[in-house]
């Protein structure tokens, strides 16, 4: 299996006035909790229902910890944390700052291992990914389709390698 990408042209020009091309992931479907539970059950002695119940409970417990201002690290997977992003409505004084000035998001950082020189050796969920160009309709700008616009694809290089 491979990550499929399209080549899309930016709608906005850069400083030199050029509308540059960029890779954009194409999503071919969605896998829900039940499907994940079935697949995990196939690797274990648990039933699909046991695995689904465990995943549901994991989400509940993680939510509790994230909402208590704690980050959650799952070994081999990565770290989840809540972040606040300013909506651009700054306040003149610190006393005027309120949570409504920010949007909450969950930030995920994949687990990784490092070489002795501190460079990344492996990154959970990303190490070993192969990228291939999408073979579909060509569009010059990103649209409302999943993954963006066109497909004048490159050579399928691994952007992580």
pLDDT tens-digit readout, 54-99: 999 999 999 999 999 999 999 989 999 999 998 877 888 889 888 8
pLDDT tens-digit readout, 114-151: 888 888 878 888 888 889 998 875 454 444 344 433 33
Percent of the chain surpassing pLDDT 70: 84
pLDDT at residue number 137: 58
DSSP 88-101: S---SSGGG--GGG
Distance between CA atoms of 159 and 7, rounded to whole angstroms?
A: 13
What are the structural domains, with CATH classification, of the chain?
3-133 (4.10.520.10)
pLDDT at 41 over 80: yes
**Whole-structure pTM value:** 0.68
pLDDT at residue number 33: 93
- 3-state percent breakdown (helix, strand, coil) of the chain, nearest 5: 20, 30, 50
pLDDT tens-digit readout, 91-107: 888 898 888 888 999 99
pLDDT at 7 over 80: yes
């Amino acid at each position: 299996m491979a990550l499929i990408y399209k080549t899309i042209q930016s709608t906005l020009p850069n400083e030199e006035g050029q509308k540059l091309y960029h890779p954009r992931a194409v999503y071919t479907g969605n896998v829900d909790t039940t499907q994940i539970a079935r697949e995990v059950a196939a690797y274990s002695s648990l039933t699909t229902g046991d695995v689904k119940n465990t995943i549901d409970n994991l989400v509940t417990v993680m939510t509790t910890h994230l909402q208590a201002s704690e980050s959650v690290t799952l070994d081999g997977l990565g770290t989840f944390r809540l972040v606040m992003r300013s909506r651009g409505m700054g306040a003149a004084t610190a006393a005027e700052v309120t949570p409504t000035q920010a949007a909450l998001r969950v930030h995920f950082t994949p687990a990784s291992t490092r070489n002795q020189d501190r460079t990344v050796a492996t990154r959970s969920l990303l190490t070993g990914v192969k990228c291939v160009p999408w073979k579909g309709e060509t569009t010059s700008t990103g649209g409302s389709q999943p993954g963006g616009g066109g497909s004048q694809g490159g050579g399928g290089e691994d952007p992580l390698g």
